[in-house]
Amino acid sequence: MSVGRELKLAPSILSADFNILGQQMDIMAEEGLEWVHIDVMDGAFVPQISFGMPVIKSIRKKSRLFFDVHMMVEEPARFTDMLKDCGADLVCVHAEACVHLDRTLQAIKAAGMMTGVALNPATPLCVLDYVLDKTDMVLIMSVNPGFGGQSYIHGMTKKIAALRKKLDDAGYPGIAIEVDGGVNKDTVNEVLGAGANVLVAGSAVFKNDVAENIRMFQKTFEEFKRN
Ligand code: DX5
Ligand code: ZN
């Protein structure tokens, strides 16, 4: 599966109810979603610790969704082989967390997974300039990473638009743009309009009725495609 520019909703299970995680992932598949966003946090790169390989391995046994693993971890290259064993499909690393970003992306690809490069809100797009040939997706953080439920930083809208232009101008129109943080019914159109095509949503999917929330996003995507 290539990422490309199709619109996708990637619910972040950081906001799921872990007592019934399997059931909530079943709802995602029943509603026709293809992606799940998996936030791994180490308590060093970001303030919080979330979950790691044992959880990913466990949910892989029951799920056929595309596993988009967001590594909010210092030097994530250390975990490449383990992530492959756990069934990750795409590994997204933070440019700020890798001394050797190019080598890290090469290793992820060599292990047979797709690559993502995540940028914190304050990180400029130019860090991508010499790794685009090894990048399947760029993740624009629209909050400072570490917690679900934060508000979208509106200044990121022009960063998303600048990235879409940069990728087109550089001859990489197929690189996906994922946006993560504060995406909900009030911000979804702004994010789509700027040129993002993979939208992560945590609290906006898992608060109250999961199926109903997913349908709201799907309806918005359809309306966006029509206009
Ligand atoms: C934040 C994580 C996000 C988070 C998004 O550091 O990377 O994926 O779960 O949560 P919401 O959608 O609630 O902002
Ligand atoms: Zn994330």
Confidence of residue 198 (pLDDT cuts 50, 70, 90): very high
Average pLDDT in the 83-91 region?
A: 98
CA nearest to 11, candidates 19, 166, 30, 173: 30
**Integer Cα distance of 188 and 68 in angstroms:** 20
Calculate how far, in angstroms, residue 161's C-alpha sits from the geometric centre of ligand 2.
Answer: 20
Shortest-distance Cα residue to atom 10 of ligand 1: 148
pLDDT over 60 (residue 1): no
9 close to 214: Cβ distance less than 8 angstroms: yes
| pLDDT 10s digits, 32-79 | 999 999 999 999 999 999 999 999 999 999 999 999 999 999 999 999
pLDDT at 3: 87
Average pLDDT in the 193-222 region?
A: 98
Measured in whole angstroms, the distance separating CA 18 from the mean position of its chain's CA atoms is 19
Tokens for 84?
Answer: 């492959």
pLDDT over 70 (residue 2): no
pLDDT at 96: 98
pLDDT over 70 (residue 139): yes
User: How much of the chain, in percent, has pLDDT values that exceed 90?
Assistant: 98
Catalytic residue flag (residue 180) = yes
167 vs 3, which has greater pLDDT? 167
| The residue count for the chain | 227
Calculate how far, in angstroms, residue 121's C-alpha sits from the geometric centre of ligand 2.
Answer: 13
Give pTM, 2 decimals: 0.98
List Cβ neighbours of 74 (8 Å cut-off, separation of 6 or more): 42, 44, 45, 97
pLDDT at 143: 98
**Integer Cα distance of 7 and 226 in angstroms:** 13
Give the 3-state DSSP-derived string for the chain, with helices as H, strands as E and coil as C: CCCCCCCEEEEEHHHCCHHHHHHHHHHHHHCCCCEEEEEEEECCCCCCECCCHHHHHHHHHHCCCEEEEEEECCCHHHHHHHHHHHCCCEEEEEHHHCCCHHHHHHHHHHCCCEEEEEECCCCCHHHHCCCHHHCCEEEEECCCCCCCCCCCCCCHHHHHHHHHHHHHHCCCCCCEEEEECCCCCCCHHHHHHHCCCEEEECHHHHCCCHHHHHHHHHHHHHHHHHC
**Integer Cα distance of 168 and 22 in angstroms:** 39
73 close to 41: Cβ distance less than 8 angstroms: yes
Rg over CA atoms, the chain: 16
Confidence of residue 178 (pLDDT cuts 50, 70, 90): very high
Tally of CA atoms within 13 A in the half-sphere of 91 that contains its CB: 33
182 close to 152: Cβ distance less than 8 angstroms: yes
Question: Which residue out of 39, 42, 68, 136 is catalytically annotated?
Answer: 39
Calculate how far, in angstroms, residue 39's C-alpha sits from the geometric centre of ligand 1.
Answer: 8
| pLDDT 10s digits, 31-40 | 999 999 999 9
135 vs 4, which has greater pLDDT? 135
Question: Ligand 1: which of 12, 50, 186 to mutate, judged by most atoms within 8 Å of the beta carbon?
Answer: 12
